[in-house]
Amino acid sequence: MLKIHNKNQAQTFLRAFNNLPENVRNILVYELNKNGIDDGFAIRIYYAPALMRTMMSYKKTTDGLIVLARIYQKARTALKNRKGNGVYTVMASAVAKMASKNPQNLKKCEIKLKSIGNDAEIELDCKNP
């Protein structure tokens, strides 16, 4: 997913993941292991690799993972009453764009989901970024 190409990048990512609060790690592990075939809905976050590559380049890997966990939480809440299996796609281009322009303020932005058909798109509400 992240297109990590060398041992140093892998170690940086693993260190950031291991330093996350346990609840954030648990969210990521749970969501990234869903397949959408026989375990409810899997959540696919478009632009997640771009977000993480950008955050890693700014040495903000932990912040990027926390943002991903927040997106997963919002999406899982939106799926609360949906029955069955499948894939719920969340378009996160706004998050990736903000990460490339102002990564230090991304954590301050409120993540909102706007329904688009059966899927969603993220809208950011960034007060004073």
The residue extents of the domains of the chain are: 7-125
Which stretch of DSSP H or E encloses residue 14? helix 7-18
| Token digits of residue 31 | 């969501």
What DSSP assignment string belongs to 17-74? HHTS-HHHHHHHHHHHT--SSSSSEEEEEETHHHHHHHHHHTT-HHHHHHHHHHHHHH
**pLDDT of 1-22, one tens digit each?**
667 888 998 999 999 999 999 9
Which stretch of DSSP H or E encloses residue 7? helix 7-18
pLDDT for 129: 47
pLDDT for 42: 97
pLDDT for 4: 82
Tell which phi-psi region holds residue 59, choosing left (phi > 0), alpha (psi between -120 and 50) or beta. left
Task: Please identify every stretch of the chain with a pLDDT value under 70, giving residue numbers as ranges.
Answer: 1-2, 128-129
